[in-house]
Structure 1
């Protein structure tokens, strides 16, 4: 039996199987939505441009005067898509959804953009004005708003060094000690993590980290400089020369006290030292048995003169030394015979020039003289000083001077007699040598000063054993800022071992132990208990008891000396010594008498008669020699 398609579908349950699906024209829907959005945007603009609000804001630069389709389609995403279909009944309504907020209109957006640009330009102008003020007034670049004080000792801090990264500080002084400080590892207590005496009983004169910061050059009052690693352990010791050889170039090292020493700024294994033997020597870490080169400063008459300080130029090509005759002599690093530049009358003869420092551009040399002056020199024209500042007391042979990181200021310290004022840190303009600023550090001389370029912090060493660090919370980086924010670590208390609490739920009440509610309270109770806390026994007064001696000396030997060896009773006659106790033994018998009560109730002692000495009738030669 044949059945048609409708019958088969009815029998199989596919009655709707052959019905056509509903279709939509998407392009028409999008076009209708776009037109509706344009109309709504026009109505909003007409309301905003009413005669009552005729004042219009000027358009910002770069904004177009025509309304584009992109601007008008802001609110199209919130419209109802069902208004544009073929089967939709609500296509005749003009407003679809809520109105567009005024803040999203084009004019409002333009006004907001103009205000934002004005504020941004105003902030930029303020920053530029601040930068211009700092350029005009270099005092604002000095980081002196905050400070910390590191206590080295009670004696003079004569050496100061900071590694290139600014993580560690090393100080040395007249107390022969070197202390290492780690800013990242310190807390607010500001304690050094290591103290050592690398040169025994010699005063520390100079400390400096190498260009890589892995080793420290230690120059003391001895004739041998030492190189230490970052933890203070010795890596190298320079050789000592033969003091009986006249020609100092033929000795392997210095033969007299060292005065100063610095690292090469480019070569990490090379450094120089100057000594009272009248030489400046260069050294190589790979060869500690002999120096590398010898430079001999001479007076105008060709005689030997003692160099008081030495320095490398910033590029490491020149070596400069200041001498006791007031001269400053500069050599080429590769030519040690003749000087490259020299000035015989740089400072007053007979004074100790304490420091030489090259500027960062390499053309200016600053010298801190023992004649209470500081001078700057142009290396290209070394005959006359560029600037001179006087009345700067200097009574220490290692008073520093250094340039600021921007190379526009020169910094030095002043010395004072004990109890006669305060030591100051002075800042001079490099070009005009006008004193820009001063800091009263403490009531003692300011000797060492160091301005680190990366940290932007100033380190100062004083004559009363303090090392101060000046910094700014915004302009400075790391360094002292790392340790001042850490709280002080509490001292670890000695841990006492407490007895374990044993839980016995089925024990009788009289055998149960009270449960510990607080460990601290239990520790306090144990501390009061002399047995648990092992309380020391009090001293014994008198001859002693319980196996312990008295407080005469605290030892058995002292007790014996006190009671036996120093006994002044004469025991040369033993019979008399025994009979001395006869009366006490008779009245209070204890040892011997009870044993003889029955056999010998009364003790009988033999009477001893002293023999009469014979008459000396015999001659001397017949007498028997005893």
Structure 2
């Protein structure tokens, strides 16, 4: 029973943001997940380096203010294709640095085969399953183009889907077959058109009424054995086709609501199940992940994911884990401790890291670019190394000695009376001697100063004459000697 192989006993939730997670990609080894959303952000998650707090290790906005439509790792896993709402696809490396950006075409040229790149908004993109440098994009300018990573100046080849009347139609999704020989595109007029990769003029397979005209086919996926093609239409259907007999679908399921132009479908690793998500309006139930049997198209299983739409789904064959992107900014990972490998199992068991206290203690490093070399601070390599160096420095590591109890000794100040204010309080303010008459207080020492001069008198003894003080007359004499006009009239 294929249902027993579905790994959904455990789940973890990665908080991408608050807006729709519209793109997801896992590298071939399953070590890193990358998510993109309507908030223009691309977040990188490393299962091996993440702890139970489940934080992304990098977040960036590669295409400024354009919603991310598609993200995919190449077959080697060293670069990521980013398709956003602008006309230029980008290729980033594993750490988020730009490797190349496709050129923008000339929007004034009518024949899209003569322009070097896309001239309108991109809809989808994917890597070639065998050639590591080649990728595919489709756009609102009515073309599907293949590119080489080493040549960003011009596309490799261009495919132009046409309606029955020969008019231009817009491809909304595109993909390679598993062997990379065929290129399929789902178009806005409801057709699915498939070309041989090396022959860009005429389609090899063509189905006119694959889906309702005017509905955007949001996803095309080839099965692992390469014979079947699954298509998820904007007309709320999921269909499976045999490309050897491409006129009518093998099976159809209707009533699967889809509000997003990138709602996914994918095959299980054993090729027996087909998985897709459903959309819901706000507060009208929960979005589900539905599992259909590939042969009978009977619904085998469903997972209620969250109270929002399920947009992206991805079942990694190596990890045997299912990644789901939702309309409320969550990326959920479903796994089973027994059936699944690595991935989410690595980060769940790790305890949350404690915040490092040491980093807050160090001084800020002040950058003075034009300072003279003698005043310039050496650039700090890292906080931890600086702290280790400081511990080796005996001067910086010297612990200040505690204050001496009591009055103090050996040149060290005691605890009480250590500061000037406490000394003044102790010796002067709290002095009990009564100094109400300052003259008497000074004259107390007069006798001792006369007999045993020590401070001032010896310095002037040889040069100063003997002091002669004016003799004080009594008050009566003073009054008599005064002139007439000064005398007080009685």
Q: Distance in 1 between matches of 2:132 and 2:63?
A: 23
CA shift, 1:195, in A, is 0.4
Alignment deviations for residues 418-446 of structure 1 (CA, whole Å, 9 cap, x no partner): 11110000000000001000000000000
Greater share of residues in helix: 1
CA shift, 1:485, in A, is 0.4
Q: Secondary structure at the match of 1:384?
A: coil
Q: Distance in 1 between matches of 2:13 and 2:295?
A: 32
CA shift, 1:492, in A, is 2.1
Q: Secondary structure at the match of 1:356?
A: strand
CA shift, 1:359, in A, is 0.2
The answer for the alignment partner of 2:276 in structure 1 is: 412
The answer for the alignment partner of 2:399 in structure 1 is: 501
Decide which of 124, 133, 140 is 1:269's aligned counterpart.
133
The answer for the alignment partner of 2:211 in structure 1 is: 347
The answer for the alignment partner of 1:296 in structure 2 is: 160
Q: How does 1:560-599 map to 2 (within 5 A)?
A: none
CA shift, 1:227, in A, is 0.2
Q: How does 1:378-397 map to 2 (within 5 A)?
A: 378-397=242-261
Decide which of 229, 237, 246 is 2:110's aligned counterpart.
246
RMSD (Å) for aligned C-alpha atoms: 1.5
Decide which of 149, 163, 187 is 1:285's aligned counterpart.
149
Task: Establish whether residue 224 from structure 1 lines up as the match of residue 99 from structure 2.
Answer: no
Decide which of 67, 70, 77 is 1:203's aligned counterpart.
67
Task: Establish whether residue 455 from structure 1 lines up as the match of residue 330 from structure 2.
Answer: no
Decide which of 12, 16, 25 is 1:148's aligned counterpart.
12
CA shift, 1:501, in A, is 2.8
Alignment deviations for residues 145-202 of structure 1 (CA, whole Å, 9 cap, x no partner): 0000000000000000000000000000000110000000000000000000000010
**Cα 1:446–1:500, aligned 2, differ >3 Å: closer, same or farther?**
same
CA shift, 1:502, in A, is 4.5
Greater share of residues in strand: 2
Q: Distance in 2 between matches of 1:481 and 1:395?
A: 32
The answer for the alignment partner of 1:432 in structure 2 is: 296
**Cα 1:337–1:482, aligned 2, differ >3 Å: closer, same or farther?**
same
**Count of equivalent residues:** 375
**Cα 1:204–1:510, aligned 2, differ >3 Å: closer, same or farther?**
farther
Q: Distance in 1 between matches of 2:407 and 2:70?
A: 75
Unaligned runs of 5+ in 1: 1-136, 513-626
The answer for the alignment partner of 1:597 in structure 2 is: none
Alignment deviations for residues 205-250 of structure 1 (CA, whole Å, 9 cap, x no partner): 0000000000000000000000000000000000000000000000
Task: After the TM superposition, list the runs of 4 or more consecutive aligned residues in structure 1 that deviate by more than 4 angstroms.
Answer: 496-500, 502-505, 507-512
Q: Distance in 2 between matches of 1:472 and 1:264?
A: 30
Q: Distance in 2 between matches of 1:317 and 1:450?
A: 23
Unaligned runs of 5+ in 2: 364-395, 410-490
The answer for the alignment partner of 2:45 in structure 1 is: 181
Q: Secondary structure at the match of 2:246?
A: strand
Decide which of 314, 319, 328 is 2:192's aligned counterpart.
328
Q: Distance in 2 between matches of 1:221 and 1:169?
A: 21
Task: Establish whether residue 168 from structure 1 lines up as the match of residue 32 from structure 2.
Answer: yes
**Cα 1:504–1:185, aligned 2, differ >3 Å: closer, same or farther?**
closer
CA shift, 1:491, in A, is 1.4
Decide which of 422, 431, 436 is 2:286's aligned counterpart.
422
The answer for the alignment partner of 2:226 in structure 1 is: 362
CA shift, 1:511, in A, is 4.5
The answer for the alignment partner of 1:593 in structure 2 is: none
Comparing both chains, which one has the higher relative contact order based on Cα–Cα distances under 8 Å and sequence gaps of 6 or more?
A: 2
Q: Distance in 2 between matches of 1:428 and 1:460?
A: 17
Q: Secondary structure at the match of 2:361?
A: coil
Q: How does 1:81-92 map to 2 (within 5 A)?
A: none
Q: Distance in 1 between matches of 2:286 and 2:54?
A: 24
